[in-house]
Amino acid sequence: MAISWPLVVSLLLSISSLATSASNSDSVHEAFVQCLLDNSHPSHPISEAIFTPQSRSYATVLQSYVRNLRFNETYTPKPFLILTALYQSHIQAAIICAKKGNIQMKIRSGGHDYDGLSYVATVPFFVLDMFNLRSIDIDMETETVWVQSGAILGELSYRISELSKTHGFPAGVCPTVGVGGHFTGGGYGNMMRKYGLTVDNIVDAYFIDVNGRIHDRKSMGEDLFWAIRGGGAASFGVVLAYKIKLVRVPEIVTVFRVEKTLEDNATDIVDQWQHVASKLPKELFVRLVIDVVNSSTRTGGSTVRVSFISLFLGDSKTLVSIMNENLPLLGLSQSDCIETSWIRSVLFWTNITIDSPTDVLLNRTPSLSYLKRKSDYVKQPIPKTALEGIWEKMIELQPAQMIFNPYGGRMAEIASTATPFPHRAGNLWKIQYLANWNQGGAETAQRYIELTRKLHRYMTPFVSKNPREAFLNYRDIDLGVNHNDRGSYLEGRVYGIKYFKGNFNRLVHIKTKFDPTNFFRNEQSIPTLPH
């Protein structure tokens, strides 16, 4: 076969170019490490917090907080460096040096990042990992807590319970979620109908800006403080810690989990639930988890199961009375209910045996799977005939599931502009779409992701419109990607309006003022105004 010299020359030039590029990258990375060392405070050396692919513990550190195994494949882009900050000065050095070298920085607190935006990128990048910064300082006199971003929700709940049986915090129900991401995106939990979101109970913060300066609420100003409570703080800077206001809980709360299938009249019960769930007393939260299971009676062998899972801030007798008055079709009885403490209700909601030692909440390692998540908001009850169609579609698309989280109560009382989180009055419930699987590989992932997308598409007639709203903490790359170049504002608006509605433009103005060069950026960050 004749040799094509132009092809050979082209290949040699490509190889030379790649080698030059790799060499340039190496020198940039070396300069970055040297800059970190040069900007490290002598009493707080930074070298022990630096992990590169040559470090023995690099893979362990990287993978420790990867919660979605889709982003732990051999082909997943890896950071050229991980900085596991031990002190505030390490964060300041990271910002100064990354700015100097124009290097992409990803900020990770707990790793529960559905689409991996805190530790994956398509450009060379490093990860600022916050997991070492996890102190929790509780002041029961003022009923406040300073909690650092690297703490997990389980640690926070446990530490509160050590000091009080009548205090809690309205955060999420998964104890391994990191405080940093959860708080900044408007985290919610099963007390949101009584006390609102995490962001509705934040009273101060320690925040490091694009110039490496540290601020509290007073020095950062109300605009920036507003933005980092629900607008995704990683677009504006690094939150070192939040000061939160504890809420009161009774010594005895009640939980239940009741499962119904289509054969048990599930459709009628769900229909009744959707008309009353947002109108129930604020102390009562009844979540629906909807999945597909085997059926011994239905043709085709599959049926839809609806799990009604509840937290009531009160006793079981009162709960049964409320439920039988408002949701009689469920047929709740005293025997379905468990009276327990608030901290043990956290175990129940995490599917941990309720009488387990509560220090299990300090465990930072969750069970892992490959997963995809999406979200929607529902403003009108879904017709019963449409529910039947949804069940058939779910049987077709199994194992895709849905979770319905009811709104109303306190969520309907707080103005949509009070924080960047806009999904308040007018919403009956939020949907989380989910698919989990246990086999690696891009082809398998694509199949399950597409099942989730199909269910999401099928639900279009029944959810919010113009925009079709979405929840920031259920990061979903399908909604749009920002390449952070000249079209950044227009690209950012595509997903920004869905996450933030009318609050998006205020976030953009704050971003432009406090980070005009768009240093703090990711694939779904808040853009700056066009120049």
Residue 399 predicted with pLDDT over 70: yes
Confidence at residue 86, expressed as pLDDT on a 0 to 100 scale:
98
Nearest to 84 by CA among 38, 132, 151, 42: 132
Whole-angstrom distance, CA of residue 346 vs CA of residue 22? 49
At residue 41, the pLDDT reads 86
Residue ranges of domains in the chain: 33-129, 136-248, 253-340+369-459, 480-530
Q: Is the pLDDT of residue 19 over 80?
A: no
What is the spatial distance between Cα 395 and Cα 293, in angstroms, rounded to a whole number?
9
The whole-angstrom separation of Cα 225 and Cα 222 is: 5
Fold of 33-129: 3.30.43
CATH architecture of 136-248: 2-Layer Sandwich (3.30)
Asked if 136-248 and 253-340+369-459 have one fold, the answer is no
Q: Residue type for 187, please?
A: G
Q: What is the CATH number of domain 253-340+369-459?
A: 3.40.462.20
**Mind listing the pLDDT tens digit for each residue in 415-450?**
999 999 999 999 999 999 999 999 999 999 999 999
> pLDDT of 49-64, one tens digit each?
999 999 999 999 999 9
Q: Which candidate in 188, 242, 370, 474 is catalytic?
A: 474
Whether the pLDDT of residue 466 is over 50: the answer is yes
Residue 370 among the catalytic residues: no
| Closest to 65 measured CA to CA, from 130, 107, 134, 111 | 111
pLDDT at 16 over 50: no
End-to-end CA distance of the chain: 55
Does residue 27 surpass a pLDDT of 60? yes
Q: Which residues contact 177 (CB under 8 A, 6 or more apart)?
A: 110, 112, 152, 153, 171, 187
The pLDDT mean for the chain works out to 94
Distance between CA atoms of residues 49 and 31, nearest Å: 17
Answer whether the bond into residue 77 is a cis peptide, omega within 30°.
no
- Whole-number Cα distances in Å, 132 to 108, 126, 152, 178: 11, 17, 11, 12
Q: What angle do CA 445, 483, 450 make, to 5 degrees?
A: 20
Q: What is the pTM of this model?
A: 0.94
SS3 184: helix
For residues 200 and 188, is the Cβ–Cβ distance under 8 A? no
Q: Do strands 370-378 and 429-437 pair parallel, antiparallel, or not at all (unpaired)? A: antiparallel
Cis-peptide into 399, omega within 30 deg: yes
Confidence of residue 9 (pLDDT cuts 50, 70, 90): very low
Cα gap 219→224, rounded to integer Å: 10
Q: Could you give the CA distance from residue 311 to residue 309 in angstroms, rounded to a whole number?
A: 7
Kindly tell me if the per-residue pLDDT of 376 is higher than 90. yes
Helix, strand or coil for residue 108? strand
pLDDT digits 0-9 by tens, 172-185? 999 999 999 999 99
Burial label for 260, CB within 10 Å (0-12, 13-18, 19+), is: buried
Residue 289 has a CB neighbour count (10 Å cut-off) of 18
Instruction: With a cut of 70, say whether residue 21 has pLDDT above it.
Output: no
